[in-house]
Chains A and B, each alone.
Chain A
Amino acid sequence: MSTQTEQCLVELTNINKAFGGVHAVENVNLNLYPGEVVAVLGHNGAGKSTLMKMLAGAYPIDSGDVRIKGEKVHVRTPADAQRLGIESIYQTLALADNLDSVANLFLGRELLTQWNTLDDLRMDADARKVFQRLNKNFKNYHTPVRRLSGGQRQVVAISRAIYFNAQILIMDEPTAALGPEETAMVAKLIEQLKAEGVGIFLISHDMHDVFALSDRLAVMKNGKLVGTYRTQDVTEDEVLGMIILGKKPEGKPETHRPAR
């Protein structure tokens, strides 16, 4: 019952976004509680990535409210989002391919010395710890990330969220480019972060991931929210029905509460 009184981590209310005449996101309501994974599903172009990018500050919101821990906030830039504890792992990973993994981990938030110059050594030392925690075999600290494997690149992208203590994590197809071992690493990491009280939005096309990792799922179609359900309440076929036809499963309760 304690979940009833638990404070909502993120509350998105009546969010709208249009690109030219196209409504990419229309009146979407979605929330996220601490220690919870909410999967956001939908076709390509359903608006899920746009919605998440608005929360991450990459796109401005046309109208609607964002509340973080009950407080109304304005997320206008990625830096705003970072200050609010929102970290994103993009499908494209958002890595500068010509820079090494240490520089990428700290990109945009470099550690500085007292003379305002880059503190490479401290960044180097800190980065080693984070990378080691994610992958014991990670050794390529000073090669440009374009030469790293898909899994290693993912480690670099994820390390940002870990190092900067994300409270709200947006993961866009985190396992799309990964092998089985690395997928297992991401799953383990998600469990670990949940236990620490981090709230996670998980965008995924992989039904197995969704059912294995998420507590709730929200389905979008044509920019609108079809519905939000407890993952354990619905079947894969019902989810596919929502994604493809926009059809709500009959007799299943929608919920805006965490699953536990």
Chain B
Amino acid sequence: MNQVLNNLKHSAIDWRMALMALVLVVISVIFNVLSDGIFFSPENLYNIAQQTAVVGILATVMVLIIVARHIDLSVGSVMGFVGVLIAFLMYTMNWSWPAASLAGLGAAILVAMYQGALTAFIGVPSFVVTLGGLMSFRGAAYLVAQGKTQPLSDPFFLTLGGGYNGGIGTQASWIVGAVICAGILFNRLTQRRAKIRFDVPVNPFWLDTILALIPCVLVVAFVAIMNAYQIPNKPDAQGIPIPVLIWGAVAGLMGFIVRRTRFGRYIFAMGGNPDAAALVGIPVKKVTMMLFLLLAVLVTVAAIVAISRLNAGTNSLGNSLELLVIAATVIGGTALAGGSGTIVGSVLGALIMQCIDSGMLLLDVSIGTRYVVIGQVLIAAVVFDVAYRKWTGDTQ
């Protein structure tokens, strides 16, 4: 037994992440009991997954921004601006959706180059640059269409935000699930083999097996739930909603960037010690600029999902979204001081927030109370963060 405990202690398990997952489970169970089982109904879980996508997509990149000791307060406004622009080009200008989306991406990149250059090359704190951006781009979102709502009708484009035809169907869902599981198992196995080859200590085989199977079980369970949801008068079940698929792809890509690329490592180094990063020859300014450009790409993706979900672009799109995104990031364990944070954490953080919000909505809690609670959840998350770091000695 001691041997087992020792293995668990020294294995590379992220206990903090495990604890957050536990919090998510506990919250859901409580809501499920209080709502007489409605919370765990496939329909509700489907909606939560779909609603979390926009915040979730932006939270994955916000992790990197905050890790690099920056902040972006303008994500909501820029997303609104880009979203309205895309919708305007499609509705008023009759552009096709790919052309409009590319134009939106171009606009987002211009915004990122402007804000990124001010931050990286001139050294204006990103807090100030993006605080200005928060106002300016909200205004720009209005100016694009003079405040008029731009409805969308392209049937394919509308599936990107989920909704009636926004699931990929049961068969495709199982295929996606199987591919992901195979990918996880293959990845774990090759890593284990490579570690043994290079004489790096490995976990015992049973532990690695469990660690590889847990995510697979979660994926299968998720697919099963999404496949269990059938909109009444529709012949087939929904399957995985497309926005969630997009979110998953984004999270996977960002996880890859963080763990496997120089760019990701430099962002963490800059957040841990900016002076050291410069002294060892990391091109700090260039990396900061690239980070803003990456942000632009994901803001565009989020904007597309958001207007498609709404079936329209409006000038209030993404209002106060920055707060939700930053809250999800922080609840997910990203330290505002920079230098630490994980993509998986941001996914959990976004889910925890959305579960609390949706759960309270199910229970008919008033909007005022919901705001009060969510605000305090954010503070509780930071208190936990501080306590956890003290306890593990990871003070910065």
Distance of A139 from chain B, by nearest CB (Å): 10
Chain B: minimal CB distance from A141 (Å): 9
Determine if B279 and A97 form an interchain contact, defined as CB atoms under 8 angstroms apart. no
Tell me which of B260, B276, B281, B282 contacts A118 (CB under 8 A): B260
> Given the complex of chains A and B, what is the CA–CA distance between A142 and B200 in angstroms?
11
How far is B278's CA from A226's CA once the two chains are assembled, in angstroms?
A: 31
Q: Are B282 and A125 in contact (CB under 8 A)?
A: no
Residue A223 CB within 8 A of the other chain: no
- Cβ–Cβ contact A82 & B281, under 8 A: yes
What does the 1/0 interface line of B315-357 toward A look like (CB < 8 Å)?
0000000000000000000000001100000000000000000
How far does the alpha carbon of A49 sit from the alpha carbon of B268 in the complex, in Å?
Answer: 27
Say which size band chain B's interface belongs to: 20 to 34
Question: Once the chains bind, are A125 and B260 in contact (CB under 8 Å)?
Answer: no
Stretch at the interface among B31-39, B94-102, B191-199, B371-379: B191-199
Which among A82, A96, A125 is the interface contact of B269 at CB below 8 angstroms?
Answer: A96
Asked if B280 and A107 sit within 8 Å, CB to CB, the answer is yes
Most buried by B among A82, A90, A96, A103: A96
Q: A58-B279, A96-B277, A98-B272 are in contact. Are A125 and B261 (CB under 8 A)?
A: no
Least CB distance, B353 to chain A, in whole angstroms: 25
Once the chains bind, are B265 and A110 in contact (CB under 8 Å)?
yes
Contact status B276-A95, CB under 8 Å = yes
Of the listed residues A90, A92, A117, the one surrounded by the most CB atoms of chain B closer than 10 A to its CB is A117
CB closest residue in chain A, given B259:
A118
**Which residues of A have CB within 8 Å of B260?**
117-118
Report the minimum CB–CB distance from A126 to chain B (whole Å). 10
A95 to B199, CA, bound (A): 26
* A125-B262 in contact given A90-B279, A96-B269 (Cβ < 8 Å): no
Q: Which of B259, B262, B278, B339 contacts A97 (CB 8 A)?
A: B339
**A122 interface hit (Cβ, 8 Å):** yes
B271 at the A/B interface (Cβ < 8 Å)? yes
Return the chain B residue nearest A57 by Cβ: B281
The interface bits of chain A over 37-77 (1 if a CB of B lies within 8 angstroms of the residue's CB, else 0) are: 00000000000000000001110000000000000000001
What residues of chain B lie closer than 8 Å to A117, measured between beta carbons? 260-261
A81 CB contacts on chain B under 8 angstroms: 281
Minimum CB–CB distance from A187 to chain B (whole Å) comes to 24
Q: Contact between A96 and B273 (Cβ–Cβ < 8 Å)?
A: yes
Q: Which of A98, A121, A144 contacts B271 (CB 8 A)?
A: A98
Cβ-defined contact, A92 with B276, below 8 A: yes
Across the A-B interface, give the 4 residue pairs with the lowest CB-CB distance, nearest first: A98-B272, A78-B281, A96-B272, A79-B281
Given pairs A97-B339, A121-B200, 13 additional interface contacts (CB within 8 A):
A97-B273, A98-B268, A98-B271, A98-B272, A103-B269, A107-B277, A109-B280, A110-B262, A117-B261, A121-B195, A121-B197, A125-B200, A144-B394
27 A-B contacts (beta carbon < 8 Å)? A79-B283, A88-B279, A92-B275, A92-B276, A94-B279, A95-B276, A97-B273, A98-B271, A98-B339, A98-B396, A99-B265, A107-B269, A107-B276, A107-B277, A107-B282, A108-B266, A108-B269, A108-B282, A109-B280, A109-B281, A110-B262, A110-B265, A117-B261, A121-B195, A121-B198, A124-B200, A142-B12
List residues of chain B with CB under 8 Å of any chain A CB: 12, 194-195, 197-200, 259-262, 265-266, 268-269, 271-273, 275-283, 339-340, 393-394, 396
